[in-house]
Amino acid sequence: MDLTRPPGDAGAWDARTDDWLVTVGAEGSPHESTTGVEDSPDADSAESTTTRRGAVDPVKALMHRHRELCERAVDPLEIAAELEAHGVTDRTAARCRHRDVFSLAEEMYARVPRVGETPPQAATPDAPGIRAGWAVLALLPGALCAAAVTGLRLTEGRPRLVVAVVGVLAVAAGLRVALRRGPLHATRERRTTASTRVWTCWLLVYALLGDGLLGAGIAGGPDGRPNGDPYGPWPVALTSVLALTLACAPAAWCAHFFAVRARRRLAASRALEEFTASVRPLLLGTFGLYLAALGGLLALCGSLLGEPVGYAGAAGLGALLLLARLLTVHGFTHAPAVVLAAAGAAEAIALASVYAGRLPGCSFLAVPVETVVAARGPGIVPALVCGAAALTLLVHATRKLTRASAHADRGGTP
């Protein structure tokens, strides 16, 4: 039957559980009589809750459900963040006779005694030794990629092919090691799926080979296999890949900077709205700082290698990967998986349509891509696809990463 009911321990709140909250408050706590003695409150909170401790006390139902959280919380904002994560909204708070979730959390914090008044431990991300450890690991992918590019420039023929294969495997291993430590590491519960990793690898492969293959396909080729030459029959964009791997270091630093500053503002804020308003410019500033670093690396690599640089496509891909990793690290894995898959599929369809247009009677399939490429060059495809995907994730991140529940300490990695 569709009756009012208490929510499960990990369930979200809905209209029926709100009704249950009011019903329990009117009839008394499910575990103790409303006429009994309340939990020992502070002197200030006793005056503010005296009128609610008679026959109607809906806050008590929340206190029983979240008692463990209230006992270990170090401030009311931590309780507010957990309530928000469990689906408690201002509407629920209004049923408890509070103006918002934070006001409700303040009363719960005051009415439940803490297990022990021990000061919180120092935040792990600020430990110098750990910072030095993941900072060195973040430099590993760029260093391995630079070594591979140097090897490609110094070899020819079969040795160059061996260097290319070994370089790809080494860079992949370096990326895996860099993502297993530090601020870009996702815990086991937030780990990316196999499909997400496949689409991410495809986006990187397209950044290396896609533009050259697309341009050669429109021109009637390719006339040969890729040989590492940016002006060969199948041009290879070494500059973009080298800059993206080198950008792992500024990406890790930006993620660390954002996480530490957000936690500090979480501790200093006195309301959820205040925290959101202070974190949004922090997120946008961190994102802009990373784009500036990536742009500088693209210019540097282009000048050192003497190759043309596709700024728009590489910057769009770098922004997409950073935002996807930030959302994943903070517990939001669904949107990055969907957006990365959509971007990878769009690039694959654009590439396939050019070659499908060579089939008899199917030339119309290649018309949209050929028209766009004729106007702006092959680099316009990743620029449009990755730019749109990154913009989508940026809008999503400004909603999700500015919530207090995204930065609540759940025992994550530094």
CB 93 within 8 A of CB 138: no
Nearest-5° angle of CA 158, CA 163, CA 167? Answer: 150
CB 283 within 8 A of CB 258: yes
| Predicted pLDDT of residue 120 | 42
Distance, CA of 241 to chain centre: 21
The CB-side HSE value for 376 (13 A sphere, CA atoms) comes to 14
Count each helix (H run) and each strand (E run) in the chain, helices first.
Answer: 18, 0
| Predicted pLDDT of residue 66 | 75
| Predicted pLDDT of residue 101 | 76
pTM of the model: 0.72
| Predicted pLDDT of residue 323 | 96
CB 370 within 8 A of CB 229: no
CA–CA distances in Å: residue 351 to residues 78, 87, 210, 348, 370: 49, 43, 8, 5, 10
Give pLDDT tens digits along the chain (414 positions): 344 444 444 444 444 454 445 444 444 444 433 333 334 444 344 334 443 444 446 677 777 777 777 767 766 777 777 777 777 777 777 777 777 777 777 767 666 665 554 444 433 334 433 467 788 889 999 999 999 999 988 888 888 889 999 999 999 999 999 888 888 888 766 677 888 899 999 999 999 999 989 988 888 878 777 766 677 778 888 999 999 999 999 999 999 999 989 888 877 776 677 888 889 999 999 999 999 999 999 999 999 988 888 899 999 999 999 999 999 998 888 999 999 999 999 999 999 999 999 888 888 999 999 999 998 889 999 999 999 999 999 999 999 998 877 776 544 444
| Predicted pLDDT of residue 112 | 67
CA–CA distances in Å: residue 162 to residues 135, 148, 151, 159, 242: 30, 10, 10, 5, 18
| Predicted pLDDT of residue 242 | 94
| Predicted pLDDT of residue 55 | 40
